[in-house]
Structures are given as structure tokens and as C-alpha cells.
Amino acid sequence: MYMNNNYLILVIIIIILICIYCGYINSKSENKCTSDNTYYLRLVKDFNLERNYCDKNVTRIAFGSCNFQYIEPTILKYIVAFDPDLWIWLGDLLYLDKKYNNDNIENVTPQIIWQQYAILKNNQFLKEFKMYKIPIICIWDDYDYYRDNAGYDIDESIYRMSKSCFLNFMGVKPNDIRYKRRGIYTTYTLKSKCKKYSAKIFLLDVRTFRTRMDILGRDQWNWLADELKKSCADINIIASGSQILASKRGSSWNGTVSRHKIINMLKCIKKYNTIFISGDMHYSSIFSYDNFIDVSASSLSAPLKKPKYKDPGLVGYNLVSHNFGFIQIEWSEDGKHKILTGFIDDKNKPHNVIQLIGYK
């Protein structure tokens, strides 16, 4: 009986320590970092795709993910027509472990990675897309990193080739710190045409350091906290290859320490003017959770026939078609900027457009 009691006590202690580590028991932090951000969402039924070029107080950002390199991404012409001030690749730029018929490549080698990028570079639609000189920034997810759900423990030769090909394809200059530093996380500041306002985009690397319970790794967490504290942008946008606020597990941040941690970080630093954007799931959704939203745009060329999950935080409806996401910001001198977000499909039709009211 004595040994059984000791064993039970030991098990209880271990469980408590695990809970503390995962951030579920942290009352001091939770009490300190509560949110005073209150906003609501309004469905917009009459969103105008045409851009008013006389209005310099409007900024457009477009983003998307999941581009199968053997399929022509015809939706790119509608991205050009939308005329964004910035385009963001949100991961799965190509599928390194897939053949043209979608069969798996069992052994992905550095040579195969190089060959897959050679195919992507010859894509005529992508060549034409680059000709329009739309500023482009990027982050990867699992398939353009290595293969499905890959994380920190891939072979070093695979990692080096994948990183080099990715950054090279995106036109990242050789002296960029991402070539030298572990991971490809970075930031980008987009100024309004009138130069008075700005949006800061935080591009997170959700693969290089990913473990079962943590997404970003210590160095990237420290970097993110420092960059958020320094940000004087009117709006912050955090970009992730995988969904941050979705409640269903899948390959999202849910079920890890990281979702709780990033939300708590934003509350502590009081960066309530932050929007999450993500990709990955081959259908598009908007999620609301704990006074933040995640606009998840997918897929550019390989949509599913129906959504995998029904999420309790879903705003509006899931969009199952070729599509891309957008954020339109109408800047205002009183600080009450009008923020619209949603999706545009391959028939150039807007979907699930919402206005964020009271987002500050």
C-alpha cells in the first residue's frame, strides 16, 4: 500500500509539471495578460473588386497557398486583376514529394528537390505573374519544406537544398540573413501609398523547429517577441503556413503549446491590432478565437471536394474552390481604419467578405 501511494503521488506530480510546462497552469500570466480588445464582424455583400487609383489611402494585400507544380494556376490572372500592393506565398508553393500524377515520391533527395524547382520555374503562368512586378514575400509549409507534416528532424542535406532552392526561387538576395540563420522567418513592412500608415507582416517558419508540442522553437519565439515589441505599425499581420486559430487538430497549431503562447504573447504586449493569415487545408475559412481572427486561404490549384473539419470558430462558410485571400485596408486619420478581408475564387467572385469593426 505504501509503494502504491508513493507511485500515485509521483504520477500526480508528473502530471502537474507537464501542465505547467504546457502553459495550462499559469494563473499569474493569465491574470496579467487579459484582452481588452473588443471588435465585431460584419458581413459585406457588396464588395467592389475594382480599385480606385485616385485613393491613396487604400492598401491591398493578397495571399494564397497550395500550388501543385504540374497544374497551371490560372487563378493568378485574377490576383493580377485585383492589383494588390503585396502578394504573400503562404506555403506549399510546390509539392516536393509528388509526381505529375500525384503519386508519392518515397525518397526525396537533394537532386529531386532541385528538379522539382526546375519544373516550377518553367511554369508559364508563374513567369507571367512575376512580370507584373507585384512585390512578393514568402514562407514555406510542409510540402515545400520536405514532405507532409515534416519538422525539425529532417536530414541536413535535404534542409540545406530545400532552403537554398526556396529562397533562390523567391529572389531573396544572397546577403539576406535567412541564408545564414537557421530558419527562414522574417518581417516585411508595407507602407500605404500616402506614406502615413503601415502594416508589418511577420512571416513565421512553422517547419524548421517544429516538434510535437512546439511550432516555432526558442530562437524564433524570442525573435517574434522582440519584433512585436518594436513594431509601431498601424496593423500587424502574422503569417503562418498552417492554421493558428482553427480548433480542429489537423496540422494546425491547436493541440500544441504554441497557440496558447502566441495569443498570450499578443495580449501581454498589447498588440490587439493583429490579424493572423494562414494556408494549408485546401479550402478557405475565417476563424475567430479569443478576440483574434485567422484568415486561412487555400488552395490556388488543388482544392478539396469538401472541408475536412467543421470548426466551432468558423466565421461565415468554408470556400471549396481555387481561390486566394485578401485584406483591404482603408486608412483613416482618426485611427479607425476600415479593414475588409475575404476570398476571391477562379471566376473572380468575392466570397465570405467581412469587415472588422473596432479592431485596434
Say whether both 279 and 341 belong to one domain.
yes
Query: Do residues 353 and 318 make contact, with C-beta atoms less than 8 angstroms apart?
Result: no
Would you give the distance in Å from CA 320 to the centre of its chain? 18
Say whether both 25 and 89 belong to one domain.
no
- C-alpha cell recorded at residue 71: 497544374
β-pairing, 86-90 vs 235-240, is unpaired
Query: Do residues 102 and 151 make contact, with C-beta atoms less than 8 angstroms apart?
Result: no
> What pLDDT does 317 receive?
95
The count of other CB atoms within 10 Å of the CB of residue 317 is 12
Q: Which residues span the domain enclosing 23?
A: 1-32
Round to whole Å and give the CA distance between 166 and 161: 8
Query: What's the number of domains the chain is made of?
Result: 2
Confidence of residue 3 (pLDDT cuts 50, 70, 90): very low
Say whether both 108 and 153 belong to one domain.
yes
Say whether both 67 and 159 belong to one domain.
yes
Confidence of residue 309 (pLDDT cuts 50, 70, 90): confident
Say whether both 26 and 157 belong to one domain.
no
Round to whole Å and give the CA distance between 191 and 234: 10
- C-alpha cell recorded at residue 165: 532552392
Say whether both 73 and 160 belong to one domain.
yes
The DSSP call for residue 283 is: S
Q: Can you spell out the DSSP letters for 183-249?
A: S--EEEEEE-TTSS-EEEEEE--SSTT--SS-SS-HHHHHHHHHHHHH---SEEEEEESS-SS-SS-
Say whether both 136 and 161 belong to one domain.
yes
Give the torsion sign (CA, 185, 83, 333, 353). Answer: negative
Give the torsion sign (CA, 346, 347, 352, 354). Answer: positive
What is the pTM assigned to this prediction?
0.90
Give the lowest-confidence range in 123-132, 259-268, 321-330: 123-132
Helices 2-22 and 257-269, axial angle in degrees (round to 10): 50
Say whether both 28 and 42 belong to one domain.
no
At residue 227's C-alpha, the angle toward residues 343 and 272, to 5°, is 55
Q: Can you spell out the DSSP letters for 131-147?
A: HTT--EEEE--HHHHSS
Prior bond of 299 cis (ω within 30°): yes
Say whether both 145 and 13 belong to one domain.
no
Q: What percent of the chain has pLDDT over 70?
A: 89
Give the lowest-confidence range in 101-105, 173-177, 249-253: 249-253
Say whether both 40 and 27 belong to one domain.
no
> What pLDDT does 23 receive?
44
Q: Residue 251: pLDDT above 80?
A: no
Q: Residue 235: pLDDT above 70?
A: yes
Torsion, Cα of 128, 239, 85, 171 (10° steps): -40
> What pLDDT does 27 receive?
31
Cβ neighbours of residue 195 closer than 8 Å, sequence gap 6 or more: none
Say whether both 13 and 62 belong to one domain.
no
Q: What percent of the chain has pLDDT over 90?
A: 78
Q: Residue 150: pLDDT above 90?
A: yes
Write the CATH number for 98.
Answer: 3.60.21.70
Spatial CA neighbour of 125 closest among 191, 72, 55: 72
Helices 257-269 and 218-230, axial angle in degrees (round to 10): 20
Say whether both 173 and 307 belong to one domain.
yes
Strand partners, 199: 190, 235
pLDDT tens digit string along 60-83?
999 999 999 999 899 999 999 999
